[in-house]
Amino acid sequence: MTLANDQRAQLEALYQEMAPANLTPLWESLADLVRPQPQSPAKVHRWSYDEVRDHLMRAGDLISAEQAERRVLILENPGLPGQSAIVPSLYAGLQLILPGEVAPSHRHTQSALRFVMEGDGAFTAVDGEKAIMRPFDLVLTPGWQWHDHGNPSSKPMIWLDGLDIPTVRHFDASFAEHLESSEHPETVPPGDTLARYGNNMRPVRGSVADRRPAHQPLFHYPYVDWRPALDAMAASAGIDPHLGHALEFLNPANGGPVMPTIAAHVRLLPAGFETRPRRTTDGTVFVVVEGSGTAVIEGQEIALHPRDIFIVPSWHALRLQAANTLVLFGYSDKAAQEKLNLYKEQNA
């Protein structure tokens, strides 16, 4: 905007006079507010699992899961300080449950996923049904479903928590409740829901077995199921030049993303494969499940090692190079963006 000197001075005087009335001029900020394309405040970043784990184990010596309610180190994006956000809409943290510990039952409007990084045999109980957790299992605790965590195994268990905390904060819609007892009474044996809803089937509607919330019945996607599915795909399908072999986790109730705000997928790149550049509006959190290679994000190179966590902000072009068979898990707010008609992608 080019303004004459006296016009600028008079406008500045006007701004000062209107400020106490909580008014500001749009024309000074319009270009920032309505951008021609996303300019994410989030930064490209990678957390080394071993480094986070060291800090988390030290926290484990100092505070119990019961005391903390949830003993979690938040992965905060360096471009979003103080916001408990890994991308503007989503949260990530690493949670530790030591042998014998319990993280008490609560429920909240925020939706959560857990992706197991280490340990075997701890559980997340959803509405009183335990999902027994193994490495690289995906477990959901959808909004307003009771959940507690416990570890009857003899080793620490660590998983990645992915929640829509910043989204719910944005909508000013956070509610939470605590159960009187720390553990929800057991409702059905482990595996009950997976058997009923995890085989492209469901109990006949209205039957006594139709127990889970209709909009969100399934909450466990075991590694032993999804990993062979990727292998089968790699053995028979042509490879997508921008994604590699990719499978999205589905909510069987509607064939859509796993939760209303969060979508999750896994992908496999064969040894030596390099993807073409692709950018999307859903800033994405990735976990390296297996293999090594490089992520090139808008020209910035990130070396990938098992269990590392890295983020690709909105509208940053991603290229992946697999040194050996590379398997990634990713989650993003694509589920919410598609509902709001905001999602865009560009494959180069």
Q: What is the contact surface with ligand GTQ in residues (CB under 6 A)?
A: 70, 72, 93, 95, 108, 112, 147, 161, 163
Q: Which is nearer to ligand GTQ, 174 or 324 (CB)?
A: 174
Q: Which is nearer to ligand GTQ, 65 or 230 (CB)?
A: 65
Q: Pick the closest to residue 123 from 106, 146, 145, 139 (CA basis).
A: 139
- Residue 280 corresponds to which tokens in the numbers above? 């999307």
**CA-CA distance, 286 to 312, in Å (whole number)?**
8
Residue nearest to ligand GTQ (CB): 161
Q: Which is nearer to ligand GTQ, 95 or 216 (CB)?
A: 95
Q: How far, in Å, are 208, 278, 294 from residue 318 at the CA level?
A: 48, 5, 10
Q: Pick the closest to residue 173 from 213, 131, 143 (CA basis).
A: 143
Beta-carbon neighbour count of residue 328 at 10 Å?
A: 24
Residues 270, 92, 112, 333, CA torsion sign: negative
Q: Which is nearer to ligand GTQ, 137 or 161 (CB)?
A: 161
- Residue 63 corresponds to which tokens in the numbers above? 């505070």
Closest contact distance (angstroms) between CB of 66 and ligand GTQ is 13
Closest contact distance (angstroms) between CB of 95 and ligand GTQ is 6
Helix (H, G, I), strand (E, B) or coil at 114: strand
Closest contact distance (angstroms) between CB of 114 and ligand GTQ is 7
Q: Which is nearer to ligand GTQ, 70 or 276 (CB)?
A: 70
Q: Which is nearer to ligand GTQ, 184 or 202 (CB)?
A: 184
Closest contact distance (angstroms) between CB of 107 and ligand GTQ is 9
**CA-CA distance, 54 to 96, in Å (whole number)?**
11
Closest contact distance (angstroms) between CB of 102 and ligand GTQ is 12
Closest contact distance (angstroms) between CB of 159 and ligand GTQ is 9
| Helix (H) / strand (E) containing 47 | strand 45-47
On the 0-12 / 13-18 / 19+ scale of CB atoms within 10 A, 106 is middle
Q: Which is nearer to ligand GTQ, 65 or 269 (CB)?
A: 65
Closest contact distance (angstroms) between CB of 79 and ligand GTQ is 20
